[in-house]
Amino acid sequence: MTPNSEIWARLLLALVFGGAVVAFALQAWRLYRLMRLGRPDAERFGVYAQRLRDELVVYLGQRKLLKRGYVVRGLGHALIFWGFLVITYGTADLLLAGTLGLRMPGVDTAAFMWMVDLFALAVLAAVVVALVRRRFFPPPRMIVQLDGYIILGLIGLLMVTLFLFEAAAVGGKLFAAGAPVPPLASLIAPVFAGPSAPAVFAGSWWLHVLTVSFFLAYLPRSKHLHIVTTLPNVFFRTTRPRGALRKIDDIEQQEHFGASSLRDFTWKQHLDGYTCTECGRCSDNCPATSTGKILDPKMIILKVKEQLLHEGDALLAAGDQRGASPTDETITAEELFDCTTCGACVEQCPVTIEHIDKIVDLRRYLVMERGEFPPQAQTALRNLERSGNPWGQAGPSRADWAAGLDVPTLADNPEAEYLYFVGCAASFDGRNQKVARALVRLLRAAKVSFAILGVEETCNGDPARRIGNEYLWQTQAQATIETFGRYRVRKVIASCPHCFNTFKNEYPQLGGTYEVLHASQLVAELIESGRLRLRSDGALKVAYHDPCYLGRHNGVYDAPRAVVTGTPGAELVEIAPHDHERGFCCGAGGGRMWMEERKGERINSRRMEQVLALEAKPDAVASGCPFCLIMLEEAAGTKGVRERLRPLDVLELAAEHLETEKS
């Protein structure tokens, strides 16, 4: 239905809306060209079936908005979004009818009119709630800017004018007799019945299409561009396993390393910037941000985007110039090295932005190209290079933890089914040596055929890769792959999630493919199948702390819990709401293990408080990671709660309950 079908009106509408389309297209073209300053990115193509599925679930289904802890807010957004889709369909019809006199199929049905009206009302309500929330209860870290008000205002205006012209049309009896009419607008239609109805209809109709046009022209300069960019951003999301960082190919031939310039990010990483909605969910869940560090993952994304918008045109004009790296300008090294690579940001971002890649690319630049990064991290890497472990312990003492246990090495027993890769923490850290010994007792009790590498084991390179020295990781990994090859290793058990993750998800990048198990997975299976017989030792409430590289990065949530529940007498306590995918980092990942934590509250202390606040009052807090164990031990020590809340590894829990080890 259009108020004027004369040719001048059609031309005017075409002019207004066409102008908006042109304004949109020009800005979009600029953004596209800026985005293409980034490098090509092969991993964004292929597996199209999965990409389409993601699109349906994440974009249309709003899946990542409806995560635990955000259901109400997420639902509000989903309503606005779905309403937006329906109403956009109606708007397309409006514009077609007003210019070419054509109609979209199905718009004249009662069902569609119900949908439009219901959604419009819901959107209007959601807009009011959002406005009130912004104005009176701004959530922490949300950047309340004019942009937000403009967009909410425009959406509100769209809904109001929609209801107005619908009601005026009904009131003025402009619908053909007997045709379906907008149901909700009809309720207020009597107000508009009368001679002024056609004028009100025309006025609000034109205001509506003007608003639509303005909205379109304004969109590319707003964070609400995400309604467009989310579509490709979800479609081209990485298909790498979550725990795997991107490999630098032919590293010895490169001139630049990491993000030494805006040109070194891939185009998809720039698209990430266009897509950020500034919702702040990443930062809310970031252990660094929430304990008062400088790092704020949202700001990393936004700062790179800002720099692209400011300097990108100059870079486009001067094709050979590289320009500055974001770490030379707005992002400090301290921010970057605050990150534990825990993955909470990536997990929570509703529009599938990949924060860790950006942070690590910037670290790579600082570490490899500039050699400028925190001294303690430098020491860790130097140690790793020189003595094969980040602690700088003497390599030949690597197998000392096994003294008296008579653990075979692969050299003694090349036929062993599993290689137990002990890892540096369990090899050298006194507390974690006990965990390695516990695992040996378990494997022995279940008669599993296994061996270790002994002094031939060296660090697999994981800390180097997280800190940003890809070259060192590749060197260490290649050496490890060679050692594995010498013994024809096929199955690897790791008690450290960081070892587990790099073997499972990253070694294939260098051609090392093995069947990799975290020790808790094997032990859970051994308990389940009855090969491990455990006995009760009295009731024990065990809180389970999810290590990031086991849980979020690899989805291993159940196995370590099964070890707890499979231990007679032990009762599993969740550290709700910070359990499973919302687990709160211990603070040691991403190379933070070797760096001091000076600013703000200590992350492990926060984590311990979450455990102490549990009503269930657990007796122990179990994890499945040597770094978590060190951090939990330390926090329990400083808080003086070790006596009543014992930190331990699930492997120790099981080993202490072995039937063969009657107390």
Partner 1 sequence: MKLLVPLKQVPDSTMRIKVAPDGKSIVTEGITWSISPYDEYAVEMALEQKDADPSTTVSVVTVGPVRAKDALRAALAMGCDDGTFVTSDENAAPLVVARALAKFVEQKQPDLVLCGRQASDDDQGFVGPALATILGWPHVATVTKFAPADGGIEIWREVEGGHEVWKASGPALVTVQKSDKEPRYASLPGIMKAKKKELPELALSSLGVDAAAPKIEVVKMETPPQRGGGKILKAADGDAASVAAELVRLLRDEAKVL
Looking at residue 485, its amino acid is G
Q: C-alpha distances in angstroms, 330 versus 336, 454, 590? A: 11, 46, 22
Q: Does 396 bind partner 1 (CB under 8 A)?
A: yes
- Identify the residue among 95, 342, 377, 402 touching ligand SF4 (CB under 6 A): 342
Please calculate the CA angle 63-234-74 and round it to the nearest 5 degrees. 30
Is the distance from CB of 467 to CB of 338 less than 8 angstroms?
Answer: no
Cβ of residue 474: shortest distance to partner 1, in angstroms?
11
Q: Rank residues 502 and 521 by Cβ distance to ligand SF4 and give the closer one.
A: 502
Q: Does 209 bind ligand SF4 (CB under 6 A)?
A: no
Q: Rank residues 395 and 408 by Cβ distance to partner 1 and give the closer one.
A: 395
Per partner kind, with CB cut-offs from 5 to 8 A, the member of partner 1, ligand SF4, none near residue 342 is ligand SF4
Contacts for 247 with CB less than 8 Å, ≥ 6 apart: 470, 474, 506, 509, 510
Q: Rank residues 189 and 464 by Cβ distance to partner 1 and give the closer one.
A: 464
Q: Rank residues 387 and 623 by Cβ distance to partner 1 and give the closer one.
A: 387
Cβ of residue 458: shortest distance to partner 1, in angstroms?
11
Q: Does 281 bind ligand SF4 (CB under 6 A)?
A: yes
Q: Does 245 bind ligand SF4 (CB under 6 A)?
A: no
Residues in the chain: 663
Binding residues for partner 1 restricted to 237-266, rule: CB under 8 A: 251-252, 255, 257
Q: Does 278 bind ligand SF4 (CB under 6 A)?
A: yes
Which of these ranges, 145-153, 278-286, 538-546, 619-627, lies near ligand SF4 under the rule CB under 6 A?
278-286
Is the distance from CB of 419 to CB of 454 less than 8 angstroms?
Answer: no
Cβ of residue 383: shortest distance to partner 1, in angstroms?
6
- Residue for token digits 């006199």? 101
Sheet holding 515-518, edge to edge: 450-451, 418-421, 491-494, 515-518
- Identify the residue among 61, 180, 395, 568 touching partner 1 (CB under 8 A): 395
Instruction: Report d(CA 342, CA 348) in Å as an integer.
Output: 12
Per partner kind, with CB cut-offs from 5 to 8 A, the member of partner 1, ligand SF4, none near residue 20 is none
- Identify the residue among 151, 349, 360, 572 touching ligand SF4 (CB under 6 A): 349
Q: Does 659 bind partner 1 (CB under 8 A)?
A: no
Per partner kind, with CB cut-offs from 5 to 8 A, the member of partner 1, ligand SF4, none near residue 382 is partner 1
Cβ of residue 289: shortest distance to partner 1, in angstroms?
27
Q: Does 279 bind ligand SF4 (CB under 6 A)?
A: yes
Binding residues for partner 1 restricted to 455-474, rule: CB under 8 A: 471
Which of these ranges, 115-123, 277-285, 382-390, 412-420, lies near ligand SF4 under the rule CB under 6 A?
277-285
- Identify the residue among 31, 94, 212, 353 touching ligand SF4 (CB under 6 A): 353
Is the distance from CB of 572 to CB of 544 less than 8 angstroms?
Answer: yes
Binding residues for partner 1 restricted to 355-394, rule: CB under 8 A: 367-373, 375, 378, 381-383, 386-387, 392-394
Q: C-alpha distances in angstroms, 327 versus 262, 303, 339, 367? A: 10, 10, 15, 12
Per partner kind, with CB cut-offs from 5 to 8 A, the member of ligand SF4, partner 1, none near residue 378 is partner 1
Is the distance from CB of 35 to CB of 266 less than 8 angstroms?
Answer: no
Is the distance from CB of 414 to CB of 487 less than 8 angstroms?
Answer: yes
Q: Rank residues 341 and 567 by Cβ distance to ligand SF4 and give the closer one.
A: 341
Q: Closest Cα to residue 540, out of 608, 615, 655, 621?
A: 621
* SS3 state at 450: strand
SS3 content of the chain, % helix, strand, coil (to 5): 60, 5, 35
Q: Rank residues 393 and 605 by Cβ distance to partner 1 and give the closer one.
A: 393
Per partner kind, with CB cut-offs from 5 to 8 A, the member of ligand SF4, partner 1, none near residue 527 is none
Q: Does 343 bind ligand SF4 (CB under 6 A)?
A: yes
Instruction: Report d(CA 104, CA 91) in Å as an integer.
Output: 10
Please calculate the CA angle 508-386-454 and round it to the nearest 5 degrees. 65
Cβ of residue 392: shortest distance to partner 1, in angstroms?
4
Is the distance from CB of 272 to CB of 233 less than 8 angstroms?
Answer: yes
Instruction: Check whether the bond before 190 is cis (ω within 30° of 0).
Output: no
* SS3 state at 498: helix
Instruction: Report d(CA 644, CA 586) in Å as an integer.
Output: 19
Query: How many Cβ atoms from other residues are within 10 Å of residue 131's Cβ?
Result: 15
Which residues contribute to the site for partner 1 (CB under 8 A)? 251-252, 255, 257, 367-373, 375, 378, 381-383, 386-387, 392-397, 471
Which residues contribute to the site for ligand SF4 (CB under 6 A)? 276-282, 285-288, 295, 297-298, 301, 339-345, 348-349, 351, 353, 355-356
